[in-house]
Structure 1
Amino acid sequence: MMNRLYYQDAYLQTFPARAIRQEYDEAGRLFAVLNQTAFYPTGGGQPHDTGTLQGIAVVDVEEAQGEIRHYIADKLPKGEISGQIDWKRRFDHMQQHAGQHILSAAFSDLLGMPTVAFHLGRETVTIDLKTPSLAPEQALQAEALANQAVLENRSITARWLHLQDALALPLRKQPSVTEDIRVVIIDDFDYNGCGGTHPRSTGEVGPIKILGWERHKGNIRLEFACGWRVLRLMDAKQGILQEAVRLLNSPEQDIPEKLQLLLTAQKNTEKALQEANHRLLAAEAADLLRQAENSRIAAAFHDRSMQELAKLASLITGQHESAVVLLASKNGDVLQCVCTKGKQAAGDMNALLKEALLLINGKGGGNAASARGGGPSILTAEEFLQSLTDLLKQQTS
Structure 2
Amino acid sequence: MRWTTPEREALREAVAGFARDRVAPALPPDDEELPPAAGRDLLKAAAELGLPGLLIPEEYGGGGGTQLDNVTIAEELGAVDAGFAAGLNLTMTVPGLILAAGTPEQRERWLPGIAAGQTVLAGAMNEPSVAGSELFDPGPGPDSGYRTRAVRDGDDYVINGAKAQWVTNAGVADAYVVFARTAADRPGIASTSAFWVPADTPGLTCGPRSRLLGLRTGFHAEVFFDDVRVPAASRIGPEGQAMRLLMTTTPGMAVGLAAIFVGVARAAEDLARSHTAERRSWGRPLRDHQAVALDLAEMTVTVRTARLLVRSAAAALDDGAGAADLAVLVPAAKARAVDAAIDCAQRAVRLHGATGVTTGAGPEKLLRDAWTGYSCDFTREMLYLGIARALPAQPAR
Tell me which interval the TM-score lies in, with the shorter structure as reference length.
under 0.3
Normalized per residue, the structure richer in strand is: 1
Q: Calculate the TM-score normalised by the size of structure 1.
A: 0.22
Which of these two proteins has the greater Rg computed from alpha carbons? 1
